[in-house]
Structure 1
Amino acid sequence: MPAVWWSELHTALACVSAVRTDRTAVRQAYLDRAMPKYLAFLDGPVPTVPRRWSTAHGDLHWANLCGPELGILDWEGWGIAPAGYDAALLHAYSIGVPETAERVRREFFSVLDTEDGRFSELVVITELLQSAERGDGLELVAALRRRAEEVWQRMTADG
């Protein structure tokens, strides 16, 4: 996608994150239950409570994005999620195509390379590993587990 598309996506997500709502995209009870189960392979107890919540599209993956003019589809799941959730979700769904995943990481570095972003990556990885347990996205499992280990190492190194 051209630079203008990425710029418009950043603007759209910033606007969404500023919306106040009672809708929920990700529930704390889910994080408390699922993260310890699906991230048990990581060394140490994984936190389950985000520092910040913000409003998210909640289902930001490539099938819900249009181009070359930016369009964002499938809004029924929008609501409150851990801050950085949309960028983390787009990155996780890109992980099977390394060049695309790298582009997403570059574009959303200011989000993903933060405490909030790393936590959101673990949330999204949890969701996708649970989904793989039901047979969805099996081809991503190894890459998702590797990414979880990278993120976890960074989180524990940052203290």
Structure 2
Amino acid sequence: MFSEPDDPEVVARMRTAHAVAGGAIGAVPEAGAVGSPREAWGWRGRTLGRPVAGPYGPGWTRVVHSPADKAGGKLWTGPEDAERALSPEMPRPHLHLVRQWTEDRDAYRAELYDRVDTGAVSSTPVLVKAADLPAAWWKELRNALVGLTRVRTNRVAVRQAYLDRAMPTYLSFLDVPVPTVPPAWSTAHGDLHWANLTAPDLCILDWEGWGLAPVGYDAALLHAYSLSVPETAEQVRRELSNVLDSDAGRFAELVVITELLQSAQRGDNTELVPALRQRAKEIAHRRPADKPTGR
């Protein structure tokens, strides 16, 4: 989740769109949700979610905005594709209804989900305090990620052309050659950070960007977003060592570090930069004979 946008026009436009969405899908925002902490804003106001009472009982309505000429594609259809492709046992909110409409140059998409009663581990993607999560939670997360890798899809979360272009650029501070071709690819959530995971009951939120990525991508992303809290970063490495201690996992970490260093240049999560650079150096200089630190 992100903060409410600074632009009041964006805030007003998205709240109006949410009201339109409610009428289209027969859902009413819960009293007090507007303007409260229960409003969930996406990056730069691109999405807005609220708890609602709807035709399937307690629910959650998420509205997505796009310029009309750019509506469509992977992010636009991701949740609907996930509902069709993923196992019902995957811990996630199920999608019931989708409605789309256009107003002048703006396109909107409304999605009605099951309500998730447990809160996100963090209010922001980057963890700011240690996460106290039970062993059963970690086991369920491992099982979910393994199950996800077995899903067949033509969706792409990370493109090889991006790796070829970006990795040499954003990892140029390393004094060793950086490979750009992953050992293997598999299906990933694509945005596995702490604001997209709930606890104590695990639920994985926000499936708009899922698709093929380097093996270990999700574990690597969660680890990167943990680096501000070393004890949790260490726990992630330990609990997800089945992936992170492999050559594929280490390559995935370099991919994620590349992406986050690039986004930091745009002003996102700049506090992570020193730790990201240090972690990249640790991975790049790890000798084949070095013993992993996992279980």
Say whether the fold is shared (TM-score over 0.5).
Answer: yes
Residue type of the partner of 1:158? P
1:25 is the counterpart of 2:157: yes
Match of 1:150 in 2: 282
Of 208, 213, 217, the match for 1:85? 217
1:61 is the counterpart of 2:193: yes
Instruction: String of CA shifts for 1:38-68, please: whole Å, max 9, x gaps.
Output: 0000112200000100000000000000010
Structure with greater helix percent: 1
Q: Which has the larger radius of gyration?
A: 2
1:106 is the counterpart of 2:231: no
- SS of 1:66's partner is coil
Give structure 2 stretches of 5+ with no counterpart.
Answer: 1-132, 290-295
Match of 1:5 in 2: 137
Residue type of the partner of 1:72? I
Structure with greater strand percent: 2
Partner Cα separation in structure 1 for residue 163 and residue 140 of structure 2: 30
Match of 1:51 in 2: 183
Match of 1:128 in 2: 260
Q: Which stretches of structure 1, 4 residues or longer, exceed 3 Å deviation after superposition? A: none
Partner Cα separation in structure 2 for residue 46 and residue 28 of structure 1: 14
Q: How many residues align?
A: 157
Partner Cα separation in structure 2 for residue 58 and residue 17 of structure 1: 12
TM-score normalized by structure 1? 0.97
Match of 2:147 in 1: 15
Partner Cα separation in structure 1 for residue 203 and residue 279 of structure 2: 28
TM-score normalized by structure 2? 0.53
1:117 is the counterpart of 2:249: yes
Identity, % of aligned positions? 71
Of 174, 187, 206, the match for 1:74? 206
- SS of 2:147's partner is helix
Partner Cα separation in structure 2 for residue 121 and residue 158 of structure 1: 16
Partner Cα separation in structure 1 for residue 139 and residue 203 of structure 2: 13
- SS of 1:105's partner is helix
Match of 2:172 in 1: 40
Q: How large is the RMSD of aligned CA atoms in angstroms?
A: 0.9
Partner Cα separation in structure 1 for residue 282 and residue 176 of structure 2: 14
Partner Cα separation in structure 1 for residue 134 and residue 147 of structure 2: 20
1:94 is the counterpart of 2:226: yes
Give structure 1 stretches of 5+ with no counterpart.
Answer: none
- SS of 1:121's partner is helix
Partner Cα separation in structure 2 for residue 46 and residue 35 of structure 1: 7
1:158: how far off? 2.0
Partner Cα separation in structure 2 for residue 118 and residue 65 of structure 1: 23
Instruction: String of CA shifts for 1:106-157, please: whole Å, max 9, x gaps.
Output: 1011211110000000000000000100001110000000000001111xx2
Higher relative contact order (CA 8 A, sep 6+): 1
